[in-house]
Structure 1
Amino acid sequence: MVVFQTGMLHLGPSIIIIFLLTCGDSTDIFDKNIHAINRTASQGETVVFHCNESEDKGAEGVDVGWRKEKILLFIYSPVINQTVTNYTSSRMYVDPNNPRKLQISDVQPSDAGTYKCFLSEAQKQWKLTVEVTDSKPELHKMFLYIVPSVTGAVAVCFIIICAVWINRKHRTGNKETGLELQTQGRRTDRVQNSQYFERFNSIYGDRRLN
């Protein structure tokens, strides 16, 4: 008998949590009678939903739950002091010490949808719309800045390459001119030498014959 009672005590919180989850899903029946508050946020902002803006102390001991569409995100029962979370994103957070506030950091388009808060019999819901930040103007500005810079850099490189090529060509031309002059000088010397030897031989030959 003692073992059975102990087992029931351990199963009690689990059964109550399952009951709370079932109750949270069953609130979809009354969604049509709840006025949805439109909420628009830009991509990257932090969105905060308050389930009950009044600080009524009588509401501190009641069950609080949060849903997105049909997905139960968070539920807290002060009776058994149990909390169950099932966030669809790591950027969602509900503080167990203040479960009436749902915070979504760095909101993204995937966070858009209908959020519902149920506090005992009272409910409140929001329809979140996320505006995507247009990055085209920034890209256009970057394009206008990068293109002239790249064009200028290419022009400078082209000028440097042309200058180096012209300098090398000029040096090569000077070397070729110098080699040609040297070659011509050697040829002239050879011709003069050959003419000198021819004259010398003719004069020397004539004398020997006499």
Structure 2
Amino acid sequence: MATLLSWDLVSVVIMLFLVYTESVTKIKTNKSASLGEDVYLVCNESMTNTTNQVIWRKDTVLILSHSKGKRTHRNFTSGRMSADSLTPTELIISIVELTDTGTYNCTVTDRRGVKTMEWNLTITDNLIDNAENGLQMLLVFTIPSAIGGVALFIGICCMVWLCRKIKKEQTSHCERRGEESNAPSQGHAAQRAQRQRSQYFERFNSVYGHY
């Protein structure tokens, strides 16, 4: 009998745990907005009169606490935050700034259980993003152009050097051919001069009788 009671007690505890687990719902999501936009965070779109309590937090700071039949406590971290007492499950952040980035948490308690929603809000600056994109595009087009310009310059320098080298080789070749062509003519001229000197000495000896 005691064993059966203990097993019944364990079963009741397990059932209560399962019911509690099913009654607690937590949803996490990421949300982004551009600088200057209005952001709406809705914790429960189908709010009914059964809602007993609504709690809003930014990071770990309590910013709104609304209980049914009690005064709503507001402690917004920014004057641009607002929530209507008739619809406390909707948090409005007007003209968001970069400082509004953070984690927003909403907890709704009603007879069906506890529902928690969490948003990781990120604020982006379109001007900075556009500037970064423009810089990236500029680099994409500038770097290949610069590389192409350097390659063109190197190619032109190589062509000039090659042309000068070819011209120098042609000049050296022409000079060698000129020297080779002048060498026989100089040899003939030397032979003629030698013969003329021999003839001169022969005439001189014949006139003066020297042999």
Q: Structure 2 length as normaliser, TM-score? A: 0.45
Structure of higher CA gyration radius: 2
Scaled by the length of structure 1, the TM-score of the pair is: 0.46
